[in-house]
Structure 1
Amino acid sequence: MTRSTLTRAALLLLAGTASAGVPPAAAQEAPRVLALLTTAEPQVQGMAFVLLNAMRQQGATVEVMLCGPAADLARREPPGPAATALRPMNATPAQMLAGIVRAGVRTEVCALYLPNAGIGPEALIDGVRPARPPEMARRMTDRATTVLPF
């Protein structure tokens, strides 16, 4: 072997060794998305759940915080627009929310919702709980989290 062949072989060996400790892009941490849903508009609510479900299916970690009129979706008996079925899926925003909650998406209502709605946590569907502001603030300001308002 010539000196240049040995040098190339050594460089290739070093390059392979150096890259062995670097995880492939697929092994990197999944994106984290926190959706803040406040709108009373059923089509926006529905689209939020369609997009969040697609993100979840693509490997993102998805969380939802409901506040104001959107928090009505988390009630066992949702009032008014929360019970309006949307086409083409023929599901209400409340049913769509229940589906992502069943899929394991962490879902909370803002801390102001329950006392101002005059109801307790027992009025919420299983899997939804009141948010804790300090914990929610920490998650919202985490640089690895994308916050999406709807």
Structure 2
Amino acid sequence: MTRNVLARAALMLLAATSPGLAQEAPRILALVTTAEPQVQGMAFVLLGAMRQQGATVEVMLCGPAGDLARREAPATTPLRPMNATPAQMLAGLVRAGVRTEVCALYLPNAGVGPEALIEGVRPAQPPEMARRMTDRGTTVLPF
């Protein structure tokens, strides 16, 4: 019994200290749908912080939040203390390489095509998005 406990403890210590066995970085998929600028801004600030802490971050925009990914995003007052609009915060995440998509319903219902989106944002493919959302390693955060 004691030998078994010591063997388990040794394996746990090895797993905790071995780079090859290190835990995978968290994967976060944020679904941003709100029209509320403060909530949009909070989502992007938190996603940026998660990314800086090593998480893999992805964004899907739908409904009113999809407008943030347009080349002609709606004008809003910059949020303090960042002094940036939600569209500017989103653009910063996109420039940093955060995978960003609009839901498959956004473009046809907004009456525009993919050319209306800022560079780096694309329409989501429902089967692929569903797979990523249901992956056991993904945390889905709705905003």
TM-score normalised by the chain length of structure 2:
0.87
Extract unaligned runs of 5+ from structure 2.
1-5
Q: Secondary structure at the match of 2:67?
A: helix
Answer yes or no: is 1:143 the counterpart of 2:128.
no
Query: How big is the alpha-carbon RMSD for the aligned residues of Structure 1 and Structure 2?
Result: 2.3
Extract unaligned runs of 5+ from structure 1.
1-11
Answer yes or no: is 1:46 the counterpart of 2:48.
no
Question: Identity, % of aligned pairs?
Answer: 81
Find the counterpart in structure 2 of residue 107 from structure 1.
Answer: 100
Structure-to-structure mapping, 1:63-142, within 5 angstroms: 63-80=58-75, 83-142=76-135
User: How many equivalent pairs are there?
Assistant: 138
Cα gap change, 1:19/1:36 in structure 2, threshold over 3 Å: closer, same or farther?
closer
Q: What is the CA–CA distance in structure 2 between the aligned matches of 1:70 and 1:60, rounded to whole Å?
A: 22
Q: CA deviation at 1:76?
A: 0.5
Contact 1:37 1:70 in 2 (8 A): yes
Q: CA deviation at 1:89?
A: 1.1
Cα gap change, 1:51/1:18 in structure 2, threshold over 3 Å: closer, same or farther?
closer
Q: What is the CA–CA distance in structure 2 between the aligned matches of 1:148 and 1:66, rounded to whole Å?
A: 12
Q: What is the CA–CA distance in structure 2 between the aligned matches of 1:126 and 1:63, rounded to whole Å?
A: 16
| Deviation >6 Å, runs of 4+ | 14-17
Contact 1:84 1:93 in 2 (8 A): no
